[in-house]
Chain A
Amino acid sequence: MDEMIGTKHRDDDQNPIRRLLRSLPQVEASEHFEARLRQRIAGKAEAPKRTSVWDGLIAPRRIPAYALSAAALVVVSVVAYYSLVSTGVGPTEETPVEQSVQQQQPAHPAVPPAVSTQTTAKKQPSPPGKSVAREQRAVSLPPGSGRSLDEPAHRREAEDVLLQHGLLKQVGQGTTPSRSFRVFDMPESVARFEGAGAPGGAEFDSAARKDSLKADSLRLHRQR
């Protein structure tokens, strides 16, 4: 075994590259190497660690950068969402409401016979310029108050405004248990469907009512 190792070492020594590399001059350390080393060691020992109160708070060393950026992204998206919700600016709400307001308020409101069904209509494209009055809804109210407790305040205000402007007509009495309204913006075709009790009318009626109330509340808000 020793013989083998000896042979191997001799092979190594005979290697021309090894001989060439061994012939290279020894490179020595620079002058004043030790003095500079002592200075550096003393400097590192004396140099105070730069620590700030914010170091741990803003960027703790154990949290990697991608985790911090992910957390920042989550915070930003939550803040953005709540700010949008609090201002009431929804990306899909405002434009359709205004469009429906324009559609629902023709220049010359017609006075056709009222249809007394509560919630039956089907969404149909209305012929331009033709509208009929529509009994929109009957809200159950507590006797004496004229108002329902679960009725939203803004809706009531909107109704009042519509009443003042003649866009809404109160059918029943304020003291009676129910108030019925007529909105003079009902397309004729829809009224026809209401009268016929078409299927799916409840959905349309509810949607239209929502749109109308939203439009009213927007108008009220602008007036204020």
Chain B
Amino acid sequence: MTVAHDSLRRKTDEQLIAEFQQGATEAFDVLVGRYKNPLTNFIYRFLGDYDECDDIVQETFIRVFRKKHSYRPEAKFSTWIYTIASNLAKTRLRQRDRRGLLFLSTLWKREGEDVEAEIPDTRYAADREADGSLKNEHIQKALQSISWKYREVVVLRDIQELSYEEISQVTGLNIGTVKSRINRGRTMLQKLLKDIIDD
């Protein structure tokens, strides 16, 4: 069992997914172990909500499990799985926008009544545990305040450290657009995080 797992661990992502396509579920377990943290980090920085992030990463692996045959070996596995996760996150953001509109409409309806304000999710304490917890919170808030179009590429480039080509494949944008969005996103963040950068 462990010998088999060790041999699997030495394999590349593409070899693992090929084995999984042939029915080896252990290969899937290795892929989950390899990608659960990077994907969680990406989605958390993209969405800013840990519960939603956890749900989306799980959904991503479920998609990989169920649609394993739709993977083509021409593409990198990492790009494929990031694309799935990114699309799910964007869908969630759109749903959130719609819910936001609904929330506004309920505010309109309940004019004059006491309505509870939306409380930000503070259950995840990883940032607080770190030394510069306030600083990290500030950076996360700044990330959330820019448009998701810029946030996505900035997170993929500066946090996940994907190459421009990989980001281009994940987002479906051409490399020029990716670069310009990264630059614009960074400029926006620079303005928002001016105090931290100056320190």
Contact = CB atoms under 8 A, between A and B. Distances in A.
B139 A34 contact: no
A7 to B, nearest CB: 15
Task: Please report whether the interface of chain B is mostly helix, strand, loop or mixed according to DSSP.
Answer: helix
A22 interface: yes
A46 interface: no
A24 B136 CA distance: 6
Interface string A10-42: 001001111011101111111001101100110
B61 A25 contact: no
B168 interface: no
Contacts of B190: 16-17
Interface stretch (B1-9, B29-37, B111-119): B29-37
Interface residues of B, number: 40
Contact of A28 (B32, B37, B61): B37
B75 interface: no
Nearest to B197: A16
Contacts of A34: 29, 32-33, 36
**Chain A interface size range:** 20 to 34
A137 to B, nearest CB: 69
A44 interface: yes
B54 interface: yes
A37 B58 contact: yes
B92 to A, nearest CB: 17
Contacts of A17: 154, 158, 186, 189-190, 193, 197
Nearest to B40: A29
B193 A29 contact: no
A28 B159 CA distance: 14
8 closest A-B pairs by beta carbon, nearest first, are A21-B158, A29-B36, A27-B44, A17-B186, A29-B40, A18-B158, A27-B41, A25-B130
Interface of A: 12, 15-18, 20-22, 24-30, 33-34, 36-37, 40-41, 44
Interface of B: 29, 32-33, 36-37, 39-41, 44-45, 50, 53-54, 57-58, 61-62, 65-66, 124, 126-127, 129-130, 136, 139-140, 143, 154-155, 157-159, 161, 186, 189-190, 193, 196-197
